[in-house]
């Protein structure tokens, strides 16, 4: 009886992860440009389903949703997989930090705190990983000099070189993106969490 129930729960969770992953993948295509960021970096809400999954099902389920989303996007990649790698690293940091903190104390106050800390962790990881791993890899794949990235900073007059690109463009972009996704998550999570949770 318990074994049958455990299998049912496992199938139930896999189904929910699949639905949230598909939703996350779909949201990747609804993008809004932000003037301070390069044109290839745009705001979307694709992390929201994985945040909801991480809060309702557990941290590693949120990471799994991030992995499946980026795996699906490999079929349409224009970055040789580098963009998907970056998205997975950054998104997983956001989800993992937020949901690990939230699971220990599932209150409104702690959910806000967990999302704030998740945004800060994500922004730090995004800035460091982009500066030393992602952009160099992408530049090598596309035969681009790193200084060329700064020239694509759009309307951000604070960007003068590669270093200032990271400080005044990449970091603020991720804080804004994470902040918007946190607000959306906070607004809808309690309304839909009963559907995802089970006794």
Residue 93 inside a domain? The answer is yes
Q: What's the pLDDT band for 69 if we cut at 50, 70, 90?
A: very high
Express as a percent the part of the chain with pLDDT over 70: 93
Residue 119 inside a domain? The answer is yes
Query: Is the confidence at residue 144, as pLDDT, over 90?
Result: no
Residue 3 inside a domain? The answer is no
Query: CB neighbours of 90 closer than 8 A, spacing ≥ 6?
Result: 122, 125, 126, 129, 174
Residue 104 inside a domain? The answer is yes
Q: What's the pLDDT band for 163 if we cut at 50, 70, 90?
A: very high
Residue 6 inside a domain? The answer is no
Whole-model pTM: value is 0.90
Token pair 């603020």: residue? 172
Query: Is the confidence at residue 83, as pLDDT, over 90?
Result: no
Name the residue range of residue 80's domain: 11-197
Task: Please state which of the ranges 61-65, 125-129, 152-156, 189-193 shows the lowest mean pLDDT.
Answer: 152-156
Q: How many domains does the chain have?
A: 1
Quick one: tokens of 166?
Answer: 């990271």
Q: What's the pLDDT band for 1 if we cut at 50, 70, 90?
A: very low
E strands, the chain, are 32-33, 42-43
What is the pLDDT at residue 186? 96
Q: What would the mean pLDDT of 26-46 be, rounded to a whole number?
A: 92
Residue 191 inside a domain? The answer is yes
102 or 80, greater pLDDT: 102
Residue 54 inside a domain? The answer is yes
CATH number, domain containing residue 63: 1.10.1760.20
Q: In this structure, what DSSP letter does residue 81 have?
A: T
With 0-12 / 13-18 / 19 or more C-beta atoms within 10 angstroms meaning exposed / middle / buried, residue 64 is buried
Residue 5 inside a domain? The answer is no
What is the pLDDT at residue 145? 84
Q: What would the mean pLDDT of 92-113 be, rounded to a whole number?
A: 95
Query: Is the confidence at residue 129, as pLDDT, over 50?
Result: yes
140 or 120, greater pLDDT: 120
Task: Please state which of the ranges 12-16, 55-59, 99-103, 192-196 shows the lowest mean pLDDT.
Answer: 192-196
């Amino acid at each position: 009886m318990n074994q049958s129930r455990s299998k049912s729960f496992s199938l139930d969770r896999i189904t929910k992860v699949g639905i949230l992953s598909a939703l996350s993948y779909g949201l990747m295509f609804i993008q809004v440009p932000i003037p301070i960021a390069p044109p290839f970096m745009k705001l979307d809400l694709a992390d929201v389903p994985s945040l909801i999954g991480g809060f309702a099902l557990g941290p590693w389920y949120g990471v799994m949703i991030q992995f499946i989303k980026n795996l699906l996007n490999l079929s349409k990649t224009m970055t040789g997989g580098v963009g998907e790698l970056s998205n997975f690293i950054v998104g997983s940091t956001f989800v993992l930090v937020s949901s690990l903190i939230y699971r220990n104390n599932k209150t409104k106050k702690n959910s806000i705190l967990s999302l704030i800390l998740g945004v800060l962790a994500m922004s730090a990881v995004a800035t460091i990983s982009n500066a030393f791993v992602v952009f160099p890899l992408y530049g090598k794949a596309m035969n681009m000099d790193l200084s060329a990235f700064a020239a694509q900073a759009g309307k951000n007059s604070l960007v003068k070189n590669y270093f200032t690109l990271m400080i005044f463009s990449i970091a603020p972009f991720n804080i804004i993106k994470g902040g918007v996704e946190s607000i959306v998550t906070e607004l809808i999570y309690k309304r839909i969490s009963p559907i995802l949770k089970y006794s």
